[in-house]
Amino acid sequence: MARHRTYPIAFKRQLAQEFLAGGTSLHGLARRHDVCRNLIRIWVEKYEKGEFDDEAEAANLLELYEARIAALERMVGRLALENELLKGASATSRRPSAATPSVVTGPAVFPSPKDAV
């Protein structure tokens, strides 16, 4: 499955400013940067609303960091739980040192006669 490309806010701001300056057409701008025209239209609307300022960029970066921290916290919790589970399993499965490690138990095996074939 194809993944969506993500663009930095500075790039979006630059394209919106280029389009609003009127130097190039929407079609030419989209072709030059290999971006969909509708996406540039959306970026221009957001730029006009003020969503591409430095505070928005800092908030976006903060959201990314918070999401990464949450994912790492989940991973730490899962690994801690797994570690406790493995510690408990290894403590209950230890054999006493006096027990024989052999799987076969029972009477001793008698050797066969020498002339038996």
DSSP-assigned letters across all residues of 84-101: HHHHHHHHHSPPPTTS--
Residue range(s) defining the domain that contains residue 68: 53-84
Residue 100, judged by CB atoms within 10 A of its CB (0-12, 13-18, 19+), counts as exposed
Which percentage of the chain shows pLDDT scores above 70? 79
**63 and 30 share a domain?**
no
Number of domains in the chain: 2
Amino acid identity of residue 49, one-letter, is K
Helix axes 9-21, 37-49, angle to 10 degrees: 90
- Nearest-Å Rg of the Cα atoms of the chain is 34
**47 and 60 share a domain?**
no
Flag the least confident range among 4-8, 43-47, 107-111. 107-111
Non-local CB neighbours of 18 within 8 Å, separated by 6+ positions: 24, 29
**39 and 63 share a domain?**
no
- pTM for the model: 0.47
**46 and 72 share a domain?**
no
**46 and 80 share a domain?**
no
In a domain? residue 20: yes
In a domain? residue 16: yes
Q: With bands split at pLDDT 50, 70 and 90, how would you rate the model's confidence at 38? A: very high
**5 and 23 share a domain?**
yes
**47 and 10 share a domain?**
yes
Report helix, strand or coil for 71.
Answer: helix
Task: Write down the pLDDT at residue 58.
Answer: 79
Q: Is the pLDDT of residue 25 over 90?
A: no
pLDDT 10s digits, 71-115: 999 999 999 999 999 988 887 776 655 655 565 665 556 667 776
